């Protein structure tokens, strides 16, 4: 199977890598003071968010469509409307994800590709004025 015919999910390393990346993302959010604003948007526990992001990214990357099977269409913007998301929250999310991908050992070229997609989505999620 050529690189071009593999899904992003396969290229990144499948479930173990996606799980590690998501776990590191939420661990950093919990531990690092620079993500305090982002952390405050999530409520007392990160477990639900951790599981939902893992499920979403699995399907989004071409792996098992776990999120859709459990919760229906993601409707990302609608599901995030209850949370105030501005430029600072967007930037903290992106920085946290970039750090998590680096710590997970994801190839630089793949990280750049993912960050371009993540930026477009994160920017679209903003719902409050700065």
Domain ranges for the chain = 6-123
Q: Give dist(CA 93, CA 118) in Å, integer.
A: 9
* Tokens describing residue 12: 């990144």
Angle at 35 between CA 99 and CA 108, to 5 degrees: 10
If we measure between CA atoms, which residue out of 29, 21, 8 comes closest to residue 104? 21
Helix axes 108-125, 87-104, angle to 10 degrees: 160
* Tokens describing residue 128: 């409050």
pLDDT 10s digits, 94-122: 999 999 999 999 999 999 999 999 999 99
pTM: 0.92
pLDDT band at 81 (very low <50, low <70, confident <90, very high): confident
Provide the pLDDT for residue 105. 97
CATH topology of domain 6-123: Globin-like (1.10.490)
- Is 90 exceeded by the pLDDT of residue 1? no
């Amino acid at each position: 199977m050529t690189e071009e015919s593999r899904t992003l999910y396969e290229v990144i390393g499948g479930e173990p890598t996606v799980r590690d990346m998501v776990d590191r993302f939420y661990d950093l959010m919990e531990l690092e003071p620079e993500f305090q604003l982002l952390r405050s948007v999530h409520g007392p526990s990160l477990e639900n968010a951790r599981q939902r992001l893992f499920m979403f990214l699995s399907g989004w990357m071409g792996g098992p469509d776990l999120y859709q099977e459990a919760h229906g269409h993601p409707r990302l913007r609608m599901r995030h409307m209850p949370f105030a998301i501005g430029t600072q929250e967007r930037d903290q999310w992106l920085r946290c994800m970039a750090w998590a991908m680096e710590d997970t050992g994801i190839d630089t070229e793949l990280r750049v590709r993912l960050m371009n997609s993540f930026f477009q989505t994160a920017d679209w999620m903003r719902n409050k004025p700065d």
